[in-house]
Structure 1
Amino acid sequence: MHMADIFQGNFQKRDEEIKKLLRIEDSFDLIRRRFVIGGRQAAFYTVDGFLKGEVSEKVMEFFYKITPEQMPEDFADFLQQEIPYLDLMKLADQEAFVKAVLSGMSCLLVEGYDIILALDFREYPGRSVDEPDKDKVLRGARDGFIESLIPNMALIRRRIRDPELSFTLVDIGRSSKTDVAVCYMRNRVNPGVLRELMKRLRGIDVDSLTMNQESLGECIFKKGWLNPFPKFKFSERPDTTAACILEGSIVILCDNSSAAMILPTSLFEIIEDANDYYFPPVTGTYLRFSRFLINVVSIFLTPVFILLMQHEDWVPHAFEFIKIQDPMYIPPVAQLLILEVAIDGLRMAAVNTPNMLNTPLSIIAGIVFGDYTVKAGWFNSEIMLYMAFVAIANYSQSNMELGYAIKFMRIQLLILTGIFGLWGFLAGTVILIVTPLCTRTINGRNYLYPLLPFDKVQLMKRFFRVSLSENEKLNHQSSK
């Protein structure tokens, strides 16, 4: 980067140094506008795509009305008396100047003043705050986070009108300088966890956060990448995020990302869904139990089926119908593994297929995999039925990372059962239990909290959807 000092020398020299520093002549989206304020030369530097035309027009109109007699000698007086815009700051550092311009702020250089002024009337391109496709609810709010940091913070602030709500800004990445906001309630957050998180964030030394929050998460947790269980809870819903903040959690918002990263979190907190709280307690408890049961069944259904096919004499007479009746040309384990991959292939195809072709693709895939493959002898109808249940069960909870963790645990259990039989099934079950037991959150707490360590109050809250007034009492008892 050009290292000449842009805060020393006359106006002409500083303007030329800024042109070289920003390489304005090489980038047509960078704007340099020369004009006169009160008889003094001035220049604006900004990015065309972030410029909010109406506000900038009003500010320029005000500048043109300033007479030479109104221009003070002291820059602080100039700020206090003449600038009509509220959101502004003084820049006395070259790195801060570059970041301000490339972030979309309009930086003003005025002849005779050493300090450069940054005015923030930028407007980032963005979509509307529609309900996220993945975190839909049957009742409740229909807004969702977008890719701009400030509107996302406003959606949280709209729900928590408390001065204890704090947003701490950190920029990460030598090239990207990505804005990352850490959100928490100052009177409810664990101070030790907050200090540890801020220490890790400020210690990150990377060129850029290429994949936004995924890159950030891998920088925060540098070890344990073989463990498939998610260390964070992601949500695109402002109401869910605000509820977690009020419970004492820390939320990380990353610029250019439409999801909030919530931590510390446990397995039981990840399984929770917003629909649990938009229905009465009885209905919410039923939804929570059914989701938990479906996830457990989706892990053990196909491995138990393979185990019973290896020992058909274990099948009770009343359940003889579960046996495969048609001839098998491909071993059942191989069929199940092929279908595990095929389901993901269909999912990726649906993501990359234009919306107008999604329905025809689904019909073709259903006919081919559901009928022709059975008739051709590739798969047996019983195995297709069980895998259909597994595929549907993957969508019973909104956390995609947890869905893939369940999938990987099922595959390892399936392979071990297919190779080693009963002993493989037992070994796979032990791995399934030990993996979350050995997982730790950022505060060192067990991943299965409140089961381990046991907390009766919080465990009741995680399994049973209680009334909101009772929830307040449980939180108070747990804090004691």
Structure 2
Amino acid sequence: MFTTDYNTNLQIISDALRSEQSFDLVKRDLIIADRKAALFFIDGLLKDDITEKILEFFYKNVKSENFKSALYFAQSAVPYVEVEVTSDLKKICTDVLSGISALIIEDFTEVILLDTRTYPQRSTSEPDNDKVLRGSRDGFVETLINNTALIRRRIRDTNLTVKAYSVGTQSHTDIAVIYMENKVDKKLLANLDKRLKAIDVPSLTMNQQSLVEALYKNLWYNPFPKVKHTERPDTTASAILDGNIVILVDNAPSALLLPTSIFDVLEEADDYYFPPVTGTYLKLARYFITIVTVLITPLWLLALQNPDYCPEFFRFVLLDEPQNIPVFWQLILMEVGIDGLRLAALNTPNSLTTPLSIIGAIALSEFAVESGWVSMEAILYMALVTVANFTQPNFELGYSFKFCRVLLLVLTYIFNVWGFIIAFIINLVLLCTNRTLSSKSYLYPLVPFNGKEFLRKILRIRNPR
């Protein structure tokens, strides 16, 4: 592809990069020891101070004897750590568009790549979603290299492996697969490697979600999360040391943990930052509250439709006054209304969040009851469900439980007791058939049962990993 003619090489790279059409793709003409040269880079992704020092060294110290070849020049005259020599035009274009500088020099048939890139990023502050009462306060950011460094800081072992991939024919998104060589499931790793290399998409438009959908092409109808997301480096490091595989995607401030069961998704870092008794209580309380969020409103509706079956000590849950709107439609209305308030809060400026919350609370409480739209009991149970949903940080799992709850409500309203039983069975089937990438059960270690692992998931029985 490249020749010893400098002008030809310059034209080849300029045409491939279309540098004349993009103002931020800069071509800097140079003269190094009486030889013509050019530096291609992206303005805004370049470490200016480092590049200036490299150019200063070129101007002052490079001699004619350094020009034996591109490789010899890189070894003897480039005062920088991350340097590569290549003649692959596709690689050159991809690297330059990623922020790497490309240096071409007269009479050389190869291009010298200088990794002097830097990406704009925010500080590694504590994540908003994965907060803990104890533990470290750092979190992942949108830069892949910084995220891998946060993991390296916690695991100083030669078995820690960080393998790089590039996905997307247009975006060329950088992906890192991280695992412990001596602990990882080799079959799972080989399966993941095969799937990542087989992905054929233009770009990962929605970042990690696009990657997950490319990896899991089947069972799209199953709402339960296929992977666990975490923004905490300590949680990620713990999962790696347990033999799991972690996927980091550039521009994503979180990690994907594989394989995943529902017990993994329900775990939190606080479970291991407290003593065993406290950690066990937190785990059991979270499991109990999770079950309550799914069943409380369907069971209440079932009791209202079958008052004769309701035990005497639970008869206080029954409604004495007739309702303008059936209880079923009250609950569905509030399910949608709460989501509407949540979406409104996400799109509301911070200065208006408090007034919006006050207006929403008034609209869904006193005024709603007085106008006859909903009963006080319906508001109470939906408030319990809404607050209980925040006991676990995974929003995707929260919406999965919401869909299960709505299915229970709909079938209970239509088919009464048999509808509740059918919906319950359907939800169990969805849980059992939601396969992980390793094809293991989503309910493992409960199904298939593994007593030792099940106790470890339910109880906090040992020190932090």
TM-score for both structures, normalised by structure 2: 0.98
Within 5 Å, give how 1:9-408 maps onto structure 2: 9-408=4-403
Matched residues in 2 for 1:454 and 1:76: separation?
Answer: 58
CA contact (8 A) 2:62 2:77 kept: no
Residue 236 of structure 2 aligns to a residue in which SS? helix
Contact conserved, 1:39 with 1:67, CA < 8 A, in 2? no
Alpha-carbon shift at residue 9 of structure 1 (Å)? 4.8
State the superposition RMSD in angstroms. Answer: 1.2
1:67 CA drift (Å): 4.7
Counterpart contact for 1:326–1:380, Cα < 8 Å:
no
Does structure 1 conserve the Cα–Cα contact (< 8 Å) formed by 2:70 and 2:112?
no
Identify the range of structure 1 (67-76 vs 251-260) with the bigger mean alpha-carbon deviation.
Answer: 67-76
Instruction: Measure the CA separation in 2 of the matches of 1:453 and 1:304.
Output: 29
Name 1:435's counterpart in structure 2.
430
- Provide the aligned length of Structure 1 versus Structure 2: 465
- The gaps in structure 1 that reach 5 residues or longer are 473-480
Q: CA deviation at 1:77?
A: 2.1
Report the Cα distance in structure 1 between the residues aligned to 2:157 and 2:227, rounded to whole angstroms. Answer: 25
Is contact 2:166-2:174 (8 Å) kept?
A: yes
C-alpha displacement at 1:394, in angstroms? 1.1
Amino acid at match of 1:433: L
- Rounded Cα–Cα distance in structure 1 between residues aligned with 2:63 and 2:274: 66
Question: For residues 61 and 350 of structure 1, what CA distance do their matches in structure 2 show?
Answer: 53
Give the deviation of 1:147 after TM superposition.
0.7
Which amino acid letter does the alignment assign opposite residue 233 of structure 1? K
State the one-letter code of the partner of 2:179. Y
Distance 1:67 1:86 in 2: 17
SS of 2:61's partner is coil
2:152 and 2:24 map into 1 onto residues whose CA distance is: 33
Return the alpha-carbon distance in structure 2 between the equivalents of residues 120 and 288 of structure 1: 46
Deviation at 1:316, TM superposition (A): 2.9
Is the 8 Å Cα contact of residues 39 and 68 (structure 1) preserved in structure 2?
no
Q: How many percent of aligned residue pairs carry the same amino acid? A: 47
Is residue 447 of structure 2 the alignment partner of residue 452 of structure 1?
yes
1:475 maps to which residue?
none
Distance 2:38 2:229 in 1: 43
After superposition, give the CA deviation of every residue in 1:281-305 in whole Å (9 maximum; x if it has no partner).
Answer: 1111001000000010111100100
Do the aligned partners of 1:29 and 1:48 also contact (CA within 8 Å) in 2? yes
Could you tell me which amino acid in structure 2 is paired with residue 28 of structure 1?
F
Cα displacement (A) at 1:22? 1.3
Residue aligning to 1:421: 416
Post-superposition offset of 1:453: 1.4
Q: Deviations over 1:382-401 (max 9, x none)?
A: 00000000111111101111
| Residue pair 1:252, 1:261 contacting (<8 A) in 2 also | yes
Q: Deviations over 1:227-269 (max 9, x none)?
A: 1111101101000000000000000000111110101111111
Amino acid at match of 1:75: A
Distance 1:74 1:372 in 2: 81
Worse-matched range after superposition: 292-301 or 20-29: 20-29
- TM-score, normalised to structure 1, is 0.95
- Alpha-carbon distance in 2 for matches of 1:113, 1:459: 63
* Residues 170, 181 of structure 1: 8 Å contact kept: yes
Change (3 A) 1:18 1:75: closer
Instruction: Give the residue type in structure 1 aligned to 2:7.
Output: Q
For the 8 Å contact 1:229–1:402, the answer to whether it is kept is yes
Distance 1:91 1:60 in 2: 20
Shift of 1:70: 4.1
CA distance in 1, matches of 2:352, 2:118: 35
Q: Using the alignment, how far apart are the partners of 1:311 and 1:265 within structure 2? A: 39
Letter in 2 for 1:208: S
1:353-396 CA-to-partner distances (Å, cap 9, x unmatched) read 11111111101110111111111001110000000001111111
